[in-house]
Amino acid sequence: MKTRIVAMWFLLLLAVQPLGTAFGQAADSLLTVSPAMLKRVDQDAEATLLRLYRQSPRAQALIARSFGVLVVPALHADGGILGVAYGSGVLIDALGDRSYYNVIGSPPGSVLGLNDKALILFFSTYESLRAFEATPGWVEGHNGSIQILDESSMANQRSPAIEPIGGFILSANGLASGLSLKGSLFIKVPIYLCTEEAAYCR
């Protein structure tokens, strides 16, 4: 079952061209990227986190206690035949180490609602972070679940009960509610960091 799920999402990943080009050209099985391109990805992620922190001090407090955070600065929804939302981002662990991910999802009734929104996941346990990193294609609802939080859910309890993986969906107006990531696939991108002078480096 898992193989069929991953294969299906991988075909969708290939069909959504912006994901394939988000980190540069392929070199063998790796994606070749320049330091400048990774810097732009990192800067977008950091700007997204700052925007989240300004809008939600509660979210900032939860992330500060986490073992890692995955930031996808922008999700793009395809309301056509594919019916998916997709984006690219960076996972930053508590030591500052970074790895890069593509995400595609087709949660029922939520695809268009995810358009132009940022996604931020945080890992409240070390085990959940390592399991996520060790899974080449991590599927929400199959490999684990993501607890989507908003201001209301965080305010209802003095100390909210947080699942091993929590998440925020950030819009221009603040934290969105009523959206799902069920069935979303997170794929770690194998990165080859080239030099700016290399002919194949973008």
Is there a domain that residue 114 lies in? yes
CA atoms within 13 A on the CB side of 168: 32
202 residues of the chain, pLDDT tens digit each: 444 444 444 444 443 434 334 443 333 456 677 788 888 989 999 999 999 999 999 999 999 999 999 999 999 887 655 678 889 999 999 999 999 999 998 766 566 788 889 999 999 999 999 999 999 899 999 999 999 999 988 887 555 567 899 999 999 989 998 888 988 999 998 866 565 555 555 4
Is there a domain that residue 199 lies in? no
pTM of the model: 0.80
Q: Round to whole Å and give the CA distance between 18 and 183.
A: 20
Q: Round to whole Å and give the CA distance between 101 and 22.
A: 10
Is there a domain that residue 201 lies in? no
Q: Round to whole Å and give the CA distance between 160 and 181.
A: 20
Is there a domain that residue 198 lies in? no
Residue 142 phi/psi, 5° resolution? -115, -55
Residue keyed to tokens 């809008």: 55
Is there a domain that residue 13 lies in? yes
Q: Could you give the number of structural domains in the chain? A: 1
Question: Which residues span the domain enclosing 121?
Answer: 2-193
Is there a domain that residue 18 lies in? yes
